[in-house]
Amino acid sequence: MTRPGTIVFTGPSLRPADLVELRALAAKTGHDLDVRPPVRRLDLVEVVEAGGVDRVLILDGEFGQSLAVSITEIRSVLAAGQPLAGASSMGALRAVECRTLGMTGSGWVYEQYLSGAIESDGDVALLFDPENYFPVTVPLANVRWLLDQTELSAKEARQALQVAHSVHFRDRRPSHLLRRWKERLPTSVVDLLEPELAEDRQDLWDRKRLDALEAVRAVLEEEN
């Protein structure tokens, strides 16, 4: 029997340690896992031209008019019979936009865009280290999820989100975000949020990462 093949386009949504874990899971469940960099324009066409695979999961993708995978490209790939799924970041965006064409989506970020609770593409944008894809800035989607998990009142959470939103995604480093929160929020609010910005805590509320892990695990744990 042929091993199920899965291509995952990822980048800052998953850490190197996550990929080690997922490759081990793929080996255990009998899947061929092909991990590729963030999807770019024409990458999906190349997959189809090469013969296609059982599944393609988009997590991360290049943003920008000349680089981003387009809805037209996704439409043509789906029409060619190539299954596509998305989650976490660019994958969640395109899955919502292309759901009527047959692309599937999953995860908290996907559901937020689907419901209209989040509308801007900028909510998933971030800067990352090009060598290891480690996130350098905090995407607003993660801040939204963090604030939903805290004991802050609705008003306090709204104020904290407004402060985070006022910081451009390129400048939203954890240290800078904390500084802005200290400048504009009550001490009681900062005292709840500051521990979460510690380096050893950030991955725990990285909602894009959590969605990405859930999506890949779900594919690898499917019946052959």
Mean pLDDT of the chain: 94
State mean pLDDT over 199-213.
97
- Edge-first strand order for the sheet with 104-105 is 32-36, 5-9, 55-58, 84-86, 104-105
State mean pLDDT over 20-33.
96
Could you read off the pLDDT of 146-191 as tens digits, one per residue? 999 999 999 999 999 999 999 999 999 999 999 999 999 999 999 9
Report the candidate in 42, 71, 44, 41 with the shortest Cα–Cα distance to residue 56.
44
State mean pLDDT over 45-70.
89
State mean pLDDT over 1-7.
73
Report the candidate in 143, 157, 136, 163 with the shortest Cα–Cα distance to residue 208.
143
Compute how many other C-beta atoms are within 10 angstroms of the C-beta atom of residue 214.
14
State mean pLDDT over 32-45.
95
DSSP state of 48: H
Specify the pLDDT at position 224: 55
